[in-house]
């Protein structure tokens, strides 16, 4: 019984940790994606400039 | 190793971007023939070696006779010598739509060869022949200038290409 109680407690803790992590990484994901989009857009802009001057 | 769902997303995004960038460069380089300027670049048109004795430039063909040569249907070779502080020949005339191969060398120091507004931009190093191809579709006056500081007269080192 005691073990099951402990396991349950651990499960709940894991669940909480998971949700916390998920919450905490939202801003990181957004900033990574914004930076990534900037890099991709500027890469293609430069490539288009190069092709137009061919 | 546990990877967070978001981490997987941005790793895949980064990896996919890299694959796209390299694929685009690879396709333009190997299937469309985009290559940086070099002595070997215009190999189908020139059979020359890509080196030349910088002290004997004026005696070594083709640089003993700098000028424009028609080599095909609307295809021209411009043989040019860069020196402090000018280009020989200067003020070239070319018909619109012509495909021009420039082969350039220097007889003194390092010079630049740039046509602003186009992709023509290369370094002219004494001892080496550098080549580049450009199609002049739009009529007008194009400026050729030196973009490597080459001495006190560097700012005067330019010439023009008249496309008509």
Whether pLDDT at B140 is above 60: yes
Q: Is B117 on the interface with A (CB under 8 A)?
A: yes
Contacts B118 to A, Cβ<8 Å = 53
B39 and B122 Cβ atoms separated by less than 8 Å: no
How much is the CA Rg of chain A, to the nearest whole Å? Answer: 23
- Give residue-wise pLDDT tens across range B22-45: 999 999 988 887 777 776 655 555
In this predicted structure, what is the pLDDT of residue B14?
94
Residue identified by tokens 């960038």 is B21
Tally of structural domains, chain A: 1
Q: Are residues B130 and B78 in the same domain?
A: yes
**Residues β-bridged to residue B142:** B161
Q: Are residues B64 and B107 in the same domain?
A: yes
Tell me if B14 and A36 make a contact (CB, 8 A cut-off): yes
Q: Is the ipTM of this complex over 0.85?
A: no
- The residue in chain A having the minimum alpha-carbon distance to the alpha carbon of residue B5 is A22
Tell me if B4 and A22 make a contact (CB, 8 A cut-off): yes
- Within a domain: residue B153? yes
Q: Are residues B142 and B83 in the same domain?
A: yes
Q: Are residues B62 and B124 in the same domain?
A: yes
- Which backbone phi and psi does A22 adopt, to 5 degrees? -60, -45
Tally of structural domains, chain B: 2
For the ranges A11-20, A21-30, B10-19, the lowest mean pLDDT is seen at A11-20
In this predicted structure, what is the pLDDT of residue B162?
94
The beta-carbon neighbor of B119 closest among A28, A32, A50 is A50
- The residue in chain B having the minimum alpha-carbon distance to the alpha carbon of residue A27 is B6
Q: Are residues B20 and B59 in the same domain?
A: no
B74 and B66 Cβ atoms separated by less than 8 Å: no
Chain B, 48-107: which have a CB under 8 Å from a chain A CB? none
B78 and B92 Cβ atoms separated by less than 8 Å: yes
The strands making up B92-94's β-sheet, listed across from edge to edge, are B92-94, B158-163, B140-145, B111-114, B121-124
B69 and B79 Cβ atoms separated by less than 8 Å: yes
Q: Is B29 on the interface with A (CB under 8 A)?
A: no
Q: Is A50 on the interface with B (CB under 8 A)?
A: yes
The beta-carbon neighbor of A36 closest among B13, B21, B24 is B13
Domain span holding position B123: 54-163
Please report which confidence band the pLDDT of residue B122 belongs to, taking 50, 70 and 90 as the band edges.
very high
Domain span holding position A20: 2-52
- Within a domain: residue B126? yes
Exposed / middle / buried, residue B137 (Cβ in 10 Å: 0-12, 13-18, 19+): exposed
Mean pLDDT of B106-133: 92
Q: Are residues B28 and B61 in the same domain?
A: no
B38 and B123 Cβ atoms separated by less than 8 Å: no
Whether pLDDT at A19 is above 70: no
- Within a domain: residue B149? yes
């Amino acid at each position: 019984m005691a073990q099951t109680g402990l396991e349950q407690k651990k499960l709940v803790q894991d669940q909480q940790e998971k949700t916390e992590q998920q919450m905490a990484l939202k801003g990181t994901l957004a900033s990574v994606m914004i930076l990534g989009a900037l890099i991709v857009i500027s890469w293609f802009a430069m490539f288009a400039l190069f092709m137009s001057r061919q | 190793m546990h990877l967070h769902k978001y981490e997987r997303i941005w790793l895949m995004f980064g990896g996919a971007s890299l694959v796209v960038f390299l694929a685009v460069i690879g396709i333009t380089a190997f299937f469309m023939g985009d290559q940086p300027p070099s002595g070997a670049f215009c190999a189908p048109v020139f059979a020359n070696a890509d080196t030349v004795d910088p002290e004997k430039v004026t005696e070594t063909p083709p640089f003993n006779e700098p000028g424009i040569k028609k080599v095909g249907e609307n295809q021209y070779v411009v043989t040019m010598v860069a020196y402090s502080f000018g280009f020989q020949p200067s003020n070239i005339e070319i018909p619109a739509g012509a495909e021009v191969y420039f082969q350039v060398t220097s007889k003194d120091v390092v010079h630049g060869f740039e046509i602003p507004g186009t992709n023509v931009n290369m370094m002219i190093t004494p001892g080496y022949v550098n080549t580049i191809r450009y199609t002049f579709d739009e009529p007008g006056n194009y400026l050729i200038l030196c973009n490597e500081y080459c001495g006190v007269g560097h700012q005067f080192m330019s010439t023009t290409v008249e496309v008509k």
